[in-house]
Amino acid sequence: MPNLTRRRFLPVFSGQVPMLFLILGTALRAAAGADFNDVEFAKPGGVPLTLDAHIPDGKGPFATVIIVHGGGWVNGDKRTYVTPLFRPLTDAGFAWFTINYRLAPRYQYPAAVDDVKAAVKWVKDHAGQYKVDRRRIALMGESAGGHLAALAGAQNEPNSRVAAVVDFYGVHDLLKRERERGSVSPGMTKFLGVDKLDEAGIARLREASPITYVRKGLPPFLFIHGTKDAAVPYEQSPVMCDALKKAGNRCEVFTVEGAPHGVGPWEKHPEFQAYKGKMVEWLKATLR
């Protein structure tokens, strides 16, 4: 059993506590559930990878979301960029896990997607311990994490197969994006180890593109993307969704009008917040 750091959010009072406060405190504990922090889920090549988890109170098993952070494949960790997603999932009664993965350029593709798949397998293997319903696991990622979630979801391997994918403004056709740029971006060079659009570079870009693996029998996808995204063109999401539908899969794009790249910046704009309700509604319907 892994060494766990478990925290329960318990209200602390001093002196005499009115009965009403005691009742409220009990209700708050029931709503809060339990947190597990820095749990090791894999150690590829001796590199420890950890996750944090929130598990609702109750018997379970619970519908579960595994969250993959962004950062251009080179930055970030399980508590950066994706934190606005935690509260809506908690309030909706989902179990959720937020994961670390190996970063480029030290660890190039396919290290990061392998780590995402390892996290899915670990959650499935420990489903009983964390009250997870193995049949109701979704992958969710933003930016580079959206790409990784979509890639793992599209590859749909038996050990890492999930029931749904929620992808925030991930890039799905890497070759299309780099061709539109006219050259290979420095970030893509760090992630893939290619620096030109020659035969080898094109093959590598295709290999790492979620759209390459589209076929019948994939899990449902929800894409959430802002129309003013300067980092990943908005069209990447509807193009991927169209490909999924043509192959016979379920897919939907939720457009955030006027929104730039990143759910963090969206927090300052009430007009961008409808995505939270859509995300929860879609997950509940898809994982019912």
184 assigned to some structural domain: no
In a domain, 180, yes or no: no
pLDDT tens over the chain, length 288 residues? 444 444 433 333 333 333 333 333 333 333 468 999 999 999 999 999 999 999 999 999 999 999 999 999 999 999 999 999 999 999 999 999 999 999 999 999 999 999 999 999 999 999 999 999 999 999 999 999 999 999 999 999 999 999 999 999 999 999 999 999 999 999 999 999 999 999 999 999 999 999 999 999 999 999 999 999 999 999 999 999 999 999 999 999 999 999 999 999 999 999 999 999 999 999 999 999
Q: Domain holding 95: CATH number? A: 3.40.50.1820
Q: Which backbone phi and psi does 141 adopt, to 5 degrees?
A: -150, 155
Considering the domain boundaries, does residue 12 fall inside one?
no
In a domain, 187, yes or no: no
Cis peptide before 210 (omega within 30 of 0): no
Q: Which domain holds residue 274?
A: 34-173+209-286
3-state secondary structure the chain: CCCCEEEECCCCCCCCCCHHHHHHHHHHHHHHCEEEEEEEEECHHHCCEEEEEEECCCCCCEEEEEEECCCCCCCCCCCCCCHHHHHHHHHCCCEEEEECCCCCCCCCCCHHHHHHHHHHHHHHHCHHHHCEEEEEEEEEEECHHHHHHHHHHHHCCHHHCCCEEEEECCCCCHHHHHHHHCCCCHHHHHHHCCCCCCHHHHHHHHHCCHHHHCCCCCCCEEEEEECCCCCCCCCHHHHHHHHHHHCCCCEEEEEECCCCCCHHHHCCCHHHCHHHHHHHHHHHHHCC
In a domain, 199, yes or no: no
In the chain, the number of structural domains is 1
Within a domain: 2: no
Is 222 within a domain?
yes
Whether 202 is in a domain gets the answer no
